Amino acid sequence: MFSKDFVWGCASSAFQIEGAWNEDGKGEGIWDRFCHEGNHILNGFNADTACDFYHRYKEDIAIMKQMGVKAYRFSLSWPRILPEGVGKVNEKGIAFYNAVIDELLKNGIEPYITMYHWDFPQALQDRGGWLNEESIEWFAEYAKVVSESFSDRVKYFITLNEPQCFTGIAHLHTDHAPGIKLPTKDLFQLIHNVLRAHGAAVINLRKYAKGDIKVGYAPTCGMVYPKTETPEDIEACRKYLFSCPDNMDNWTWNVPWFSDPVFLGRYPEDGLQKYAEYLPVITEEDMKLISQPLDFMGENIYNGIMLEADESGNPVYVNRYAGFPETGNGWPVTPECFRWGLKLLYERYQHPIYVTENGICCKDVLSSDGRVHDPQRIDFLNRYILAMKQAMDEGADIRGYFEWTLTDNFEWNFGFRDRFGLVYVDFRTQRRYRKDSSYWYENVIKTNGASLMQPKEILFFDPVFKQMIWGGNKMKDVFGYNIPGEKTGECWAVSAHPNGDCTVNGGLYNGKTLSTLWKENPELFGNYPTDRFPLLLKVIDAKENLSIQVHPDDTYANEHENGSLGKTECWYILECAENSTLVVGHNAKTKEELCSMIDNKQWDELIAEVPVKKGDFIQIDPGTVHAIKGDIMILETQQNSDITYRVYDYDRLTDGKPRELHLDKSKDVIEVPAKAGAVMSTESEEAVKELVSCKYYTVWKYQVNEAVTQTQSYPFMILSVTEGYGTINGLAIKKGDHFLLPAGYGEFVLEGEMTVIASAPGEC
Ligand code: FCB
């Protein structure tokens, strides 16, 4: 499903894993200082040892090898390489990274180097840090050393990780090192320096490269996704994602200020206007430096917000519902933002994209069985990777995915609280435990994505109710439905018919109509080869007699009813009065006799009736004269068609007029002589009973007392609970519920005390 050269990787950063903070000549970094100050990090922890990667890199690379990881994105510690930030190179630092690189290559893992993941040399911080314009030179010098030392074996380089964070979180807020709040003007200057330093580094990485290298950049930001897939909502997303915030308390959290200069060679116009009073001097030369051509765009993506367009097309935030899924550190789980964010980024910046980070913090524990079970991480990654794949299928050029992160590590100001790893670290002993998710990821890599699980949510629908002259209010009493009136005759419980298209209620596809889903997500229905959803499931409450009718078959309907389907249907009797009958069949022996009986209104002689009781079942083929009589309630599975020919309406008047009859068409299609109306009792010793199987559908009855286990291997199945309470695979269901099990759903277990009618489409 992914191209064979798709890069499946893991990401990490030096400060978060290496430890050895002052070993082998390493200089002090701003994060060392920040930790040691004692009051910035949760519980006063520091990263002096962290994951001890400095000494254990072989172990960790061995785990990556086991997992089949193809690429490892790691960062270099600038002060380990240049203890003073510039000047004298620490050969032991270079030796360490050489050893890591060689070990990776030996194990078939492609190194991706990030030059700067936030650990600025303290010596240079003491000279003003990024706010000093000399930082451009400093970073360029560092780039030269990096390129000269490693580009003989390393092909992929990334200059900066998340400039939004190390500028904003450190200088607008003070949660990150060096934790110095700057006046707004200074912060603009600092960012301008950072961006120019990026450009200068790109130049030097290339200039001193010993081989063909690829250079990129790894910004971040919250992403967006539209409430509906209308052009208006999508445009609202585009607008929001690429505009500069008005709020000066959080203005650095945006995409365009950090990516437009780099990829488009200009600061965003709206920002230049909004921020005019704070801007540094920006020259053409600066912009040329900043926008050095790049080989790829990296982006770190974790979550996003849902937006819709207001009447003027402006983006409006859509509130999250109660109980919205979130991660162990309270970040929302929004896989949709991956699809839309990646598409919109690609659309604007037109560079091949690598997802340089994506992952989840969970409250992982080492379980009593000695293993670490992290199903939430698996589910998160599965959903996000599928969403990424969708972006790729929709045109975004995405070359790789780096899961954040290999091992649990030092999560900045949150210390060791937030575990993001595929591998659990016991920080007391430094023992590593592969979490379940690492095995899951191994399998994704091995199968190149084929093992990803398509979501198999059960789909529930909002029914469409229809008022009918013969309808009643039983659906409220029997099923608790919120019916619109006293004459509610029909409940279209699962329907994609234009006369009553049901809407998905809850879950991934909440708010979409069944006909839209049918079009947009054919995989949910096993790519069933018909142009429209093939079935229609109804509950019918006949307080009065329904008119006597007949249905055409596909051929007749197609010809006479504008390409409509014919109608084959079947009924399961939900409720009925004692001594009830249904109209099924007729007594004419020949077409002539039939026509004359109709013309002479010999209804009593013509019409045949059969007795029925609750729980009976009957198939109504096209050409069969039929009618539901008063005081009967049925569940109906039928072809997705609304074509009915009325033969006789008991001479009733609606608004003083008789309803239209369709005598000519009826005479055309009524089968003569009639087949005997075969009413069947559904009582059975067996828990599972097949009621009918025809070209259009198969219908079963499940009598659930003990657990009933079945497999959904049809393109889809629709289940209706007609009695009782219970669960399907642990999900509570009750009388009156109708739902759809999508393709590939697989095994399901029904438990409780229930009667369930199940329908699956036929082979067509
Ligand atoms: C990103 C950082 C990375 C890690 C993850 C959780 O913002 O780049 O170092 O902390 O978040």
Show which of 630, 654, 681 is a domain's final residue: 681
Q: Indicate which atom in ligand 1 lies nearest the CA of residue 361.
A: 6
What spacing in Å lies between the alpha carbon of 476 and ligand 1's midpoint? 53
Per-residue model confidence as pLDDT tens digits over 4-49: 999 999 999 999 999 999 999 999 999 999 999 999 999 999 999 9
Segment holding 538, helix H or strand E: strand 535-542
DSSP state of 676: P
Are residues 636 and 750 located together in one domain of the fold? no
The pLDDT mean for the chain works out to 97
Are residues 464 and 429 located together in one domain of the fold? no
Mean pLDDT of 594-598: 96
What are the tokens at 557?
A: 């309907």
Are residues 656 and 598 located together in one domain of the fold? yes
Are residues 726 and 591 located together in one domain of the fold? no
pLDDT category of residue 678 using cuts at 50, 70 and 90? confident
Task: For 26-56, give the secondary structure using H, E and C.
Answer: CCCEHHHHHHHCCCCCHHHCCCCCCCCHHHH
Q: Indicate which atom in ligand 1 lies nearest the CA of residue 162.
A: 8
The answer to whether residue 452 sits within a structural domain is no
Q: Name all residues whose Cβ lies below 6 A of ligand 1.
A: 13, 16, 161-162, 165, 220, 300, 357, 404, 411-412, 420
The answer to whether residue 754 sits within a structural domain is yes
Per-residue model confidence as pLDDT tens digits over 313-372: 999 999 999 999 999 999 999 999 999 999 999 999 999 999 999 999 999 999 999 999
How confident is the model at residue 764, as a pLDDT? 65
How confident is the model at residue 654, as a pLDDT? 84
Answer yes or no: are the C-beta atoms of 131 and 186 closer than 8 Å: yes
What spacing in Å lies between the alpha carbon of 236 and ligand 1's midpoint? 28
Are residues 40 and 144 located together in one domain of the fold? yes
**Cβ burial, residue 551 (10 Å; 0-12/13-18/19+):** buried
Are residues 213 and 355 located together in one domain of the fold? yes
Helical segments of 126-268, H only? 135-150, 163, 170-171, 184-207, 231-241, 256-259
User: Distance (Å, rounded) from C-alpha 322 to C-alpha 695?
Assistant: 44
Give the CATH number for residue 313: 3.20.20.80
Q: What is the DSSP string of 677-731?
A: ---EE---SSSEEEEEE-SSEEEEEEEESS-EEEEE-SS-EEEEEEEEEEEETTE
> Can you give the residue range of the structural domain that contains 589?
459-681
Per-residue model confidence as pLDDT tens digits over 610-660: 999 999 999 999 999 999 999 999 999 999 999 999 999 999 988 899 999
Q: Which of 18, 28, 162, 723 is catalytic?
A: 162
What spacing in Å lies between the alpha carbon of 161 and ligand 1's midpoint? 9
How confident is the model at residue 676, as a pLDDT? 75
Does pLDDT of 677 surpass 80?
Answer: no
Degrees (nearest 5) of the Cα angle 255, 190, 224? 10
What spacing in Å lies between the alpha carbon of 143 and ligand 1's midpoint? 22
Three-state secondary-structure class, residue 633: strand
Give the CATH number for residue 737: 2.60.120.10
Are residues 670 and 703 located together in one domain of the fold? no
Are residues 427 and 493 located together in one domain of the fold? no
**Residue whose CA is closest, atom 4 of ligand 1?**
411
Are residues 723 and 604 located together in one domain of the fold? no
Are residues 675 and 695 located together in one domain of the fold? no
Are residues 724 and 645 located together in one domain of the fold? no
User: For a pocket test of ligand 1, which of 167, 301, 404, 417 has the largest count of ligand atoms closer than 8 A to its C-beta?
Assistant: 404
User: Distance (Å, rounded) from C-alpha 100 to C-alpha 231?
Assistant: 48
**Whether the predicted model's global pTM rises above the 0.85 cut:** yes
What are the tokens at 666?
A: 């009826």
How many structural domains is the chain composed of? 3
How confident is the model at residue 367, as a pLDDT? 98
User: Distance (Å, rounded) from C-alpha 421 to C-alpha 411?
Assistant: 11
For residue 107, count other CB atoms closer than 10 A to its CB. Answer: 15
The answer to whether residue 642 sits within a structural domain is yes
The answer to whether residue 2 sits within a structural domain is no
How confident is the model at residue 763, as a pLDDT? 82
Q: Which of 28, 299, 357, 403 is catalytic?
A: 357
456 or 550: which leads in pLDDT: 550
The answer to whether residue 451 sits within a structural domain is no
335: CB partners within 8 A, 6+ apart: 380, 383, 384, 386, 387
Q: What proportion of the chain, given as a percentage, has pLDDT over 90?
A: 98
Confirm whether 357 is a catalytic residue.
yes
How confident is the model at residue 454, as a pLDDT? 85
Mean pLDDT of 405-433: 98
The answer to whether residue 747 sits within a structural domain is yes
User: Distance (Å, rounded) from C-alpha 629 to C-alpha 433?
Assistant: 68
Show which of 378, 411, 446 is a domain's final residue: 446
Instruction: Walk across the sheet containing 304-309 and list its strands.
Output: 223-226, 304-309, 315-317
Does pLDDT of 495 surpass 70?
Answer: yes
What spacing in Å lies between the alpha carbon of 116 and ligand 1's midpoint? 13
The answer to whether residue 175 sits within a structural domain is yes
**Which of 501, 498, 568, 566 lies closest to 759 in space, CA to CA?**
568
Per-residue model confidence as pLDDT tens digits over 36-87: 999 999 999 999 999 999 999 999 999 999 999 999 999 999 999 999 999 9
The answer to whether residue 334 sits within a structural domain is yes
Does pLDDT of 299 surpass 70?
Answer: yes
Three-state secondary-structure class, residue 632: strand
Are residues 582 and 639 located together in one domain of the fold? yes
Show which of 681, 716, 735 is a domain's final residue: 681
Q: Indicate which atom in ligand 1 lies nearest the CA of residue 359.
A: 6
How confident is the model at residue 377, as a pLDDT? 98
User: For a pocket test of ligand 1, which of 73, 358, 412 has the largest count of ligand atoms closer than 8 A to its C-beta?
Assistant: 412
What spacing in Å lies between the alpha carbon of 750 and ligand 1's midpoint? 43
User: For a pocket test of ligand 1, which of 358, 411, 416, 419 has the largest count of ligand atoms closer than 8 A to its C-beta?
Assistant: 411
